[in-house]
Amino acid sequence: MTEHPSPQQMRAVFRGGLTEAAERAVFCHLLRGCSACQAAIGGEYLAVTRGPAPEDEVYDAAIDRAFVSARRYYGKMQREATKTREALELLEQGGLEALFAGPDHLVGLGLVDALLARCEAVRHDNPAEAVRLAKVADAAAARLNPRDFGARRVADVQARAMAEVGNALRAVDRLTEAGEAFDRAFKRLKEGTGNEALEAHLFQLRASYYGTRREFPLAFAALEAAHDLYLSVEDRHRAGRTLIKKAIYKHYSGKSEEAKVLNQQGLALIDESREPGLALIAGINHLWFLVACGRFREAAAALFKIRPACVAQGGQVQRIRLRWLEGQIDAGQGELARAAGIFCDVRKEFIRLEMGFHAALTSLDLSLLCMRQKRTRDAWDWALEAEQMFAALEIQREALAAVAVLTRCFQQGKATLPLLESVVDFVRRSETGLDERFEPHF
C-alpha cells in the first residue's frame, strides 16, 4: 500500500469487512512507521470498543494488535515459503516419488505452491506428469485448514489448484474431465477473496480449454475478460500474454493476417525478463501464421533464425512443434520425401506425449503426402490410423465423419487427391469450432 489507508479502511480493520489482503496492506503500512495513521487507528479502535479507556492504553492496544497480527502472518508465510523450497527441491531431484518419501512436515500451502510450480515447469516437456502433479496439488489444497490461512484465502488456493488440474488435463486431450475441473474452480473462486489477478489467470486457462475444444467465441470472451482484469491490476505483461493467445485462435479461425497483428501487439506489451519463453512462443506462432498464408519461403527464413533460440530455451513440446512446422514448410516447397520423414518422427513424439489430436493430424499429413506421391495404399493406411485416433478423442462429429468418408472412399477405390485435400482442410478448419458441413471435392 503506497497511499494512506482511507478512514473507511481504518474503521473496517476493527469492525470487519476488509478482505484478508486489504487488512494485511493496512498492517504493513502501519509497520512502516506512519505516525499519522498509527494515531488515527488508535482513534478508530476507541470508536468501536465499549466503555471509556485512557487514550494511551487504547493507542498501545491498537498498535500491539497490528504488530502481533502482521508478525503472525509473515512468520507463517516464511515457514510456508521454506516448505515450498524444500518440496520443490525434492520434486526436481526425484519427482513425486521423492516427495512422498520426504519429511512429513511438507504439507500445507507451501506444498501446494511447490506442486503447482513444478507442474508449470514440466507442462511442455511431460504433459502426463503435469497431470499427476496438478492432481496431487488439488488433493493437498483440499486438506488446507481454513483456521490456519483464512477461509477465503484457502478458497483462492483451491480454485487455482482445480484450474491447473483442468489445464493439465486439457493438454493431454482429456477434455470432459478438464471442463469439470474448470467448473469446480470457478465455483470455488466465488468463495475467495475476490483477487482480480487470480480471476484473470483462471479466465486465461479456461480460454485455452475452449480453444482446444474449438469453441473460439467462448475462448475470445474469456481472453477479453482476462485482458481487462490484467489491465485493471496494471499487469501489462499478462495483458500482452492474452493478446498472443488470442492471436493463435484468430489463426485457427482462418484469420491469420489478423493473428499476425495481434501477435505483434502482444509482443509490445510483454516483459521478456518476467517470462523469457513467451517471446519464443510468439515467434513460433508467427511461423505458423506465415505457413497458413502460404509464405513458405519467408517461413523458411524465419525458421532458420528462431531455431537456435528454440533449441536453447524451448520445452520438449515446443521443439517437436517446431519440427512439425519444418515438415509443413518442406511440404509447401515440394520437398515431399523429407517432409514425410519429419512427420513420421513428429507423430511418434506426439503419441509418446499422449497428444492424440496432434498425432492424428500428423497421420493425415502423411496420408496427404503419400497421395501426392501416388502411394495410394500407404495413404489409405495413414487415413485409417487417423480415423481410429480421432474416434478415441472428443472432436467435432462432422470432422470425424469427414475422415470416415475418406476411408470409405479408399476402401471403394474412389479416393482422389482433391478428396483427401478437402478432408485435411476441413479437419484443420474444424479447429475453429464452427458448425460447418463437410463438402467433399472429388
**What per-residue confidence (pLDDT) applies to 43?**
44
Question: What are 363-383's pLDDT values in tens digits?
Answer: 999 999 998 898 989 988 998
324 band by pLDDT with thresholds 50, 70 and 90? very high
Helix (H) / strand (E) element for 10: namely helix 7-15
431 band by pLDDT with thresholds 50, 70 and 90? low
The answer for residues whose C-beta is within 8 angstroms of residue 176's C-beta and 6 or more apart is 394
User: What span, in angstroms and rounded, lies between the C-alpha atoms of 434 and 416?
Assistant: 26
CA 10, chain centre distance (Å): 38
What the block records as the C-alpha cell of 386 is 487417423
**What per-residue confidence (pLDDT) applies to 51?**
42
Average pLDDT score over the chain = 80
∠ CA 332-336-337 to the nearest 5 degrees?
150
Residue 141 one-letter amino acid: A
| pLDDT value at 185 more than 90 | yes
303 band by pLDDT with thresholds 50, 70 and 90? very high
Query: Could you give the 3-state DSSP secondary structure of residue 144?
Result: coil
∠ CA 294-298-304 to the nearest 5 degrees?
125
pTM assigned to the model: 0.60
91 band by pLDDT with thresholds 50, 70 and 90? confident
**What per-residue confidence (pLDDT) applies to 190?**
95
3-state secondary structure 226-295: HHHHHHHCCCHHHHHHHHHHHHHHHHHCCCHHHHHHHHHHHHHHCCCCCCHHHHHHHHHHHHHHHHHCCC
Nearest to 22 by CA among 33, 11, 32: 11
Higher pLDDT pick, 126 / 39: 126
**What per-residue confidence (pLDDT) applies to 9?**
66
DSSP class of residue 440 equals: -
Average pLDDT score over residue span 52-77: 50
Where are the alpha helices (H) located in 49-195, listed in sequence order? 55-100, 109-122, 127-142, 146-149, 151-171, 175-189
Higher pLDDT pick, 440 / 260: 260
- What secondary structure does DSSP assign to 163-224, as a single string? HHHHHHHHHTT-HHHHHHHHHHHHHHHTTS---HHHHHHHHHHHHHHHHHTT-HHHHHHHHH
First to last CA, the chain: 68
The dihedral sign for the CA sequence 183, 393, 322, 165? positive
Give me the helix-helix angle, 316-332 and 336-352, nearest 10°. Answer: 160
| pLDDT value at 226 more than 60 | yes
Q: What is the largest CA-CA distance in the chain?
A: 99
Question: What are 11-41's pLDDT values in tens digits?
Answer: 555 444 556 556 566 655 655 555 566 555 5
431 touches 400 (CB < 8 A): no
| pLDDT value at 10 more than 80 | no
Average pLDDT score over residue span 148-169: 92
Residue 374 one-letter amino acid: K
